[in-house]
Every structure is written in structure tokens, then in C-alpha cells.
Amino acid sequence: MTTTAALLMRATLAHAHALAAIHAASFPLAEQWGPDVMALQLGLPGAFGLVHLGSGMVLARSMADEAEILTLAVMPERRRDGLGRALLLAAMDRAAQQGARTMFLEVAVTNAPARSLYTRANFTQVGQRPSYYPDGRDALVLRAALGGEGGRSGPLPLDPAKGRHPSEPDCWVE
Ligand SMILES: CC(C)(COP(=O)(O)OP(=O)(O)OC[C@H]1O[C@@H](n2cnc3c(N)ncnc32)[C@H](O)[C@@H]1OP(=O)(O)O)[C@@H](O)C(=O)NCCC(=O)NCCS
């Protein structure tokens, strides 16, 4: 059986439309990123993306010893099967490989599924941005340590039925 993590690919500019399609199915209209924004984000210094075609995607960026999740989305029909977890852990591992020691992200206070995912990946709240989203919701700023001493020491428990750990060396489709 092919695992979820085995199908994660590094996203390139050629995937801009595929990334935007996943995003469009996952966020309200005012928060959706089209192909042009996807391409712009991927072109930022230190940016990288991972995609499970037709199912999920994550964009992140690392600069020196800090990294951030830019966006993360899983198609509604593919949720609750470990893909969001696999994408997040893969992005954390990739950022750590690029030298980041800390990762940040923003999440809406009302986004219970994402908040649960991030909590289980050892993210903790370090700030709050009032009215951050177009509909007026606040964002929580979350932080997690990456790799090494004091780093991501207790990742989400791995469920064999939901894919293996994405940092295993043979699990990438390049
Ligand atoms: C958040 C999101 C990426 C999670 O993707 P997913 O593939 O369903 O997540 P997983 O199956 O890997 O779940 C991992 C953990 O997340 C949490 N989680 C996911 N969906 C949840 C839900 N509906 N309710 C509560 N917790 C949930 C759980 O802790 C879960 O672990 P468990 O399955 O062992 O209970 C997905 O719901 C999504 O794309 N949402 C819309 C876009 C979005 O909000 N992105 C994040 C912006 S910050």
C-alpha cells in the first residue's frame, strides 16, 4: 500500500494551479490564494512547498534560524486521514534541514481542527493578532521548536494506518 507521506512532492511553479485548487476548496473566498499568489509565495527567499496532488499542500519559508508556515490545506474529502499531519511534519523537517530552529504560524481562534493539529505538533501560543482575517477573526501566533536539543522531541504519535513519518529518507517523490 502506498503511504500518504510517500506521495508528497516538492511543489514547484508548475504546481501553482494545483496548489490554488486545493486552497480554493479549503478557505473562504476572501482568504483564497490564486495561482499567481502561489507562484509569488514559492518565489520568496527560503520558500518551499510540498504537495500531495489533488489532496493537500503546504507552503513554508525559512530564513536563517526561523521558519513559518505560510499556508496548509487538505481537500475536504481527504481530511481526517493523516495528510495534514504528514504535510506539517514534513514542512517542519524540511525547515529544520534548512537550518531553522523555530517555526511560527498563524491560525484563526475559531479553527478548532487546525489548532488541534498544531497543538499535537508541539506548537504553543506566543501571541494574538486582533482582526487578522478579512472576516474579523483574531489570529493566534503559534511557535514550535524544530529539531535538535529542545526541538521537536515529541512529534505527533505515528499511526501506521495514516502514513509513516515523512522524514524517512525514501518517502519523497522528487
Ligand atoms: C487543518 C487541516 C489541514 C487538517 O488536515 P487533516 O488532513 O484533516 O488532518 P489530519 O487527518 O492529519 O489530523 C491530524 C490531527 O489534526 C486534528 N484534527 C484534524 N481535523 C480535526 C477536526 N475536524 N476536529 C478536531 N481535530 C481535528 C486532530 O488532532 C488530528 O489528529 P487525530 O486524527 O489523531 O485526532 C484541514 O482541516 C484543512 O485543510 N482545513 C482547512 C484549511 C485550514 O484551516 N488550514 C490551516 C490554516 S492555519
Is residue 69 scored above 60 in pLDDT? Answer: yes
Instruction: For residue 101, give the nearest of 155, 72, 64 by alpha carbon.
Output: 64
Q: Give the separation between CA 113 and CA 27, rounded to whole angstroms.
A: 13
Contact call for residues 51 and 57 (beta carbons, < 8 A): yes
d(CA 149, CA 104): 18
59-87: average pLDDT: 97
pTM of the model: 0.89
CB 100 near ligand 1, within 6 Å: no
- Ligand 1 midpoint to CA 79 (Å): 7
Q: What domains can you pick out in the chain, each with its CATH number?
A: 5-155 (3.40.630.30)
Question: Is 26 in contact with 75 (CB distance < 8 Å)?
Answer: yes
**Beta 9-11 vs 47-52: how paired, if at all?**
antiparallel
* 3-class DSSP assignment, residue 171: coil
55 and 22 in contact (C-beta within 8 Å)? yes
Please count the CA atoms within 13 angstroms of the CA of 86 that sit on its side-chain side.
31
By alpha-carbon position, which residue is closest to atom 22 of ligand 1? 113
| For ligand 1, mutation pick of 117, 137, 156 (most atoms within 8 Å of CB) | 117
Confidence check: pLDDT of 158 > 60: no
* Active site positions, annotated: 106, 118
Q: What is the pLDDT of residues 24-61, one digit of tens each?
A: 999 999 999 999 999 999 999 999 999 999 999 999 99
Contact 59, 42 (CB under 8 A): yes
Summarised one tens digit per residue, pLDDT across range 117-128 is 999 999 999 999
Q: How many Å lie between the centroid of ligand 1 and the Cα of residue 174?
A: 25
Per-residue exposure over 58-88, b if at least 16 CB sit within 10 Å of its own CB, e if not: bbbbbeeebbbbbbbbbbeebeebbbbbbbb
Residue 121 near ligand 1, beta carbon < 6 Å: no
